[in-house]
A and B are shown apart, each in its own frame.
Chain A
Amino acid sequence: MSVEELSDGIFEIDLDGRKTLATKNIMPGISVYGERLFREEGVEYRLWDPRRSKLGAMVLKKFEIPLKYDSTVLYLGAASGTTVSHVSDILRDGLVYAVEFSPRTMRDLIQLCDQRPNIIPILADANKPLSYAHIVEKADVIFQDVAQPNQAEIASVNSKYFLEKHGHLILSIKSRSIDTLASPKKIFKDEVHKLEGGFGVEFEVLQRKELDSFHEDHLGLVARMFVDGE
């Protein structure tokens, strides 16, 4: 068994010849959603299933993930906290603001927040960033995984308000939530175009790749925000 750190806090582990993703468990002994835990040289890791997490799939698709140990992350569309828990593992000196709209899934997310010190739950609509402007500080990274038809717009308005200069946006676009019939390729093209300057902010797309084989009809994207006058 060998452990290799792919980027800050994200590990690739060779388990009997099968490579799997994992993060260091900041709450040793607790498995969040039934994932396997195991120890290696006194450190406990949590296996990370790329089929249940867009971010995990993006790591395996060779994206460079801009998360650092001490990043401040604004996480839009936290759902019940599967991916959020891994982000919280990665940011051992950072903080994640987890925004989720549905009270039902928030119920699960709060259980997670009760365990972990670096997640701040916010029950709000990501479409209305001003409804949490009095809570959230500037973020180094915005991660967005919402199933809404206006995904590019949500990412843009949130970035405009909350993202640091040169901050990064990690986005998972679900083509099925935009149009179930049109071809995903065309939808992705349109959405990326909108991102690159459709809503008053401009992004430089660093990497984009479809997440097929892990998530059907999803596009992963990492972008960096442009700042005026550059």
Chain B
Amino acid sequence: MVSEFTVWFGRLTLDEAGELIDCHPFEKNPDILAERLLELQEGGQKVPATAPDLRRLAFDCGFVDMDEDYDVLLRDVCIRAAKNRISSTDTDDVRIVHAVEALDDIDKNVNELSERLLEWYGLYFPELELTGEPLSRFVLAFGSRANVPDDHPLFEKASKSMGSELSFADEELLRSFASNLCSLYDTRRHIESYIVTGMGSLAPNLADVAGALLGARLISIAGSLQKLASFPSSTVQVIGANRALFKHLRSNTPPPKHGIIFNNIIIKNAPWWQRGKLARAFAAKISLASRTDFYSGKKDPSIKEKLELKLTAIRNANPSPPKKETKPGGKASGARGKGRKKKGGKR
């Protein structure tokens, strides 16, 4: 039986024994060959039952006439192909994932550094009740408390402070420390706005329903928008609550009601007895939004509207905390609890 087989250097027609009947070698242009190589990799063509001797076929075909040429050209083509594939893995969601992770890294470092600045600067100006970003801006602007001008609201405190004197060398050091911290705050803001704009084009519905940052976090934990879109919404509901979830599966602790979606005000600000129900509805719409984003890419404002309706319905249906169930008296308490999970419990 005659079979066709396209290989990296040409289109071959082979007989049953793998001998060459006919061939069309491709042009010896590494870029074009590399592109074709990738197409073939995706293509899924029929191949002979066992590997033919490609090298000899290339000679028979007249594509190359020395071993060395074959090696050099094949290597060149494969390296180009692999490089192309690698550069095409840099997609929008990879960028968003990196941005989210960078944000977390910055938060972690900013916390440590600002804590240090607070303790350190506290030696010289303990009455200053600033923390975090205002503190570093203050240190950067004035350095020693002696430099606070008399029309500044903190002048009073600064002039009567019980803190020790700040030497010139220390002042310089603290100022540069604070300036680094300030630039971290700036970078953080920059990344945040990058995520907001990036999510607007990558996943407009997800950003609309869940908020840009939370949406980006979900993508980051899932790995990519595609993976997030393929998760069932019950998974989306508990993403980020791994420990509670597995503890629930192992022993009979209550299941987590929400993972990182808790960070949205819908759930954060809700009273405890509504949170589980709201989280379920919220997660369902998040799934829906991420699927719409991944598969159609069109903005669909009705998702958000329907979510609002659903949320209002849940809130109206559960206006007050449920009363604790009173157990029917007299029944043997031993029979109770069998196979039942503890109700309530903390998140």
Contact = CB atoms under 8 A, between A and B. Distances in A.
Contacts of A160: 50
A103 B75 contact: no
Given A134-B8, A160-B50, A110 B79 contact: yes
Interface string B34-49: 0001001110110100
Contact of A122 (B5, B50, B78): B78
A110 B50 contact: no
A161 B40 CA distance: 18
Contact of A137 (B5, B54, B82): B54
| Interface of chain B, main secondary structure | helix
B81 interface: yes
B71 A118 contact: yes
Contact of A123 (B50, B71, B85): B85
Contacts of A136: 51, 54
A121 B37 contact: no
Contacts of B47: 130, 133-134
Contact of B86 (A110, A120, A124, A131): A110
B88 to A, nearest CB: 9
Contacts of A134: 5-8, 37, 40-41, 45, 47
Given A95-B71, A118-B71, A137 B83 contact: no
Interface in B65-89: 71-72, 74-75, 78-79, 81-83, 85-86, 89
Q: What's the interface size class on B, roughly?
A: 20 to 34
Nearest to B40: A134
A121 B8 contact: no
B53 interface: yes
Contacts of A123: 81-82, 85-86
B79 A121 contact: yes
Interface in A85-136: 95, 103, 106-107, 110, 113-114, 117-124, 130-136
B55 interface: yes
A120 B75 contact: yes
B79 to A, nearest CB: 6
A103 B8 contact: no
A122 B74 CA distance: 11
Nearest to B12: A134
B74 A120 contact: yes
Interface in A120-158: 120-124, 130-138
Interface residues of A, number: 27
Given A118-B71, A123-B86, A133 B79 contact: no
A131 B41 contact: yes
Nearest to A93: B67
Contacts of A162: 51
B40 A103 contact: no
Nearest to A117: B75
A70 B78 CA distance: 21
Contacts of A122: 78, 82
Nearest to A109: B82
B51 A138 contact: yes
Contact of A161 (B41, B42, B50, B71): B50
B55 to A, nearest CB: 5
B219 to A, nearest CB: 18
B86 A130 contact: no
Contacts of B6: 134
A103 B71 CA distance: 23
Contact of B85 (A103, A114, A130, A137): A103
Given A123-B86, A160-B50, A162-B51, A113 B75 contact: yes
A161 B44 CA distance: 16
Given A117-B75, A130-B44, A137 B51 contact: yes
Contacts of A131: 41-42, 44
Contacts of B74: 120, 135
Contacts of A138: 51, 53
A162 B53 CA distance: 10
A106 B51 contact: no
Contact of B51 (A113, A119, A121, A133): A133
Contacts of B51: 133, 136-138, 161-162
Nearest to B57: A137
A132 B86 contact: no
Contacts of B37: 134-135
Given A95-B71, A123-B82, A137 B50 contact: no
Given A137-B51, A162-B51, A132 B41 contact: yes
Interface in A158-189: 160-162
Contacts of B82: 106, 110, 113, 121-123
Given A114-B79, A134-B7, 4 more contacts: A117-B71, A130-B47, A134-B40, A135-B74
Give the 5 A-B CB pairs with smallest separation, nearest first: A134-B7, A137-B54, A133-B47, A103-B89, A123-B82
Interface of B: 5-8, 37, 40-42, 44-45, 47, 50-51, 53-55, 71-72, 74-75, 78-79, 81-83, 85-86, 89
6 contacts: A114-B79, A123-B86, A134-B45, A135-B7, A135-B37, A137-B55
